[in-house]
A and B are shown apart, each in its own frame.
Chain A
Amino acid sequence: NFVLTQPHSVSESPGKTVTISCTRSSGSIASDYVQWYQQRPGSAPTTVIYEDNKRPSGVPGRFSGSIDSSSNSASLIISGVKTDDEADYYCHSYDGSDHWVFGGGTRLTVL
């Protein structure tokens, strides 16, 4: 089994671009899709990115996802970050046998 490692927290000013990384410990990041979930306090998670870089309907275009095979990592990029984006963000992937793994989560603070 592999581990997905995220920074514990990131912070940025409103209007800037913030990037949250997710590094896979073993196996290729490109071999299985990566998803990103947003979780606000007291609420269930919601998907903001699925299949590496797709956005569900209703998710603003400010949210995007990418994969970097050289660093074996995925990134969630939020451009023009807003105070409303403050939340915990979790990456997720799986191995070929449908064993799912979540990253440890990143707390985004918009100051």
Chain B
Amino acid sequence: EVQLVESGGGLVKPGGSLRLSCAASGFTFNFYNMHWVRQAPGKGLEWVSSISNTGSYIYYGDSMKGRFTISRDNAKNSLYLQMNSLRAEDTAVYYCARRADDSPHLDYWGQGTLVTVSS
């Protein structure tokens, strides 16, 4: 059974940093591209970042560039999101999701981890 379990969310002050993790199981992690998607409270989905299966290709949403860093450790079946210079508008549930094999959709999602940026 495919499972994606996010962790690392919490309360952080504006300007602070946080590192999210996503533990993957039930599939061959190093075969798949992975994504982070976030959802502010009561708002819609916003794409955050993606990383190819080998880590060679990385992309970011415009509002995250220069502040967020996506990475992965295929030996540990884990995906990460390092978030720096956090702002109140970064408050959201952050989902880890798997891109389907050879298709541009996200076929499995984690349950999400809440990040709250507030003083």
Q: Mark A19-44, 1 if CB is under 8 A from B, else 0.
A: 00000000000001101010100001
Residues of B within 8 A of A97 (CB): 59
| Contact A45 B109, beta carbon cutoff 8 Å | yes
Q: How many residues of B contact A (CB 8 A)?
A: 23
| Contact A101 B47, beta carbon cutoff 8 Å | yes
Q: Mark A90-111, 1 if CB is under 8 A from B, else 0.
A: 1010100111111111000000
Interface residues of B in 87-119 (CB under 8 A from A): 95, 97, 100, 103-107, 109-112
Complex Cα–Cα for A45 and B37 (A): 10
| Contact B106 A45, beta carbon cutoff 8 Å | yes
From B44, B46, B103, contact of A50 by CB (8 A): B103
| Contact A33 B109, beta carbon cutoff 8 Å | no
| Contact A56 B44, beta carbon cutoff 8 Å | no
Complex Cα–Cα for A33 and B62 (A): 21
Most buried by A among B35, B44, B61, B107: B44
From B104, B106, B107, B109, contact of A51 by CB (8 A): B104
| Contact A44 B44, beta carbon cutoff 8 Å | no
Which chain A residue shows the least CB distance to B4?
A44
| Contact B62 A1, beta carbon cutoff 8 Å | yes
Most buried by A among B35, B44, B59, B105: B105
Interface residues of B in 29-74 (CB under 8 A from A): 35, 37, 44-47, 50, 57, 59, 61-62
Most buried by A among B50, B62, B95, B106: B106
| Contact A33 B110, beta carbon cutoff 8 Å | no
Q: A50-B103, A98-B57 are in contact. Are A90 and B44 (CB under 8 A)?
A: yes
Residues of A within 8 A of B57 (CB): 98
Interface residues of A in 52-111 (CB under 8 A from B): 56, 88, 90, 92, 94, 97-105
B41 to chain A, nearest CB (A): 12
Complex Cα–Cα for A110 and B40 (A): 25
From B35, B45, B46, contact of A37 by CB (8 A): B45
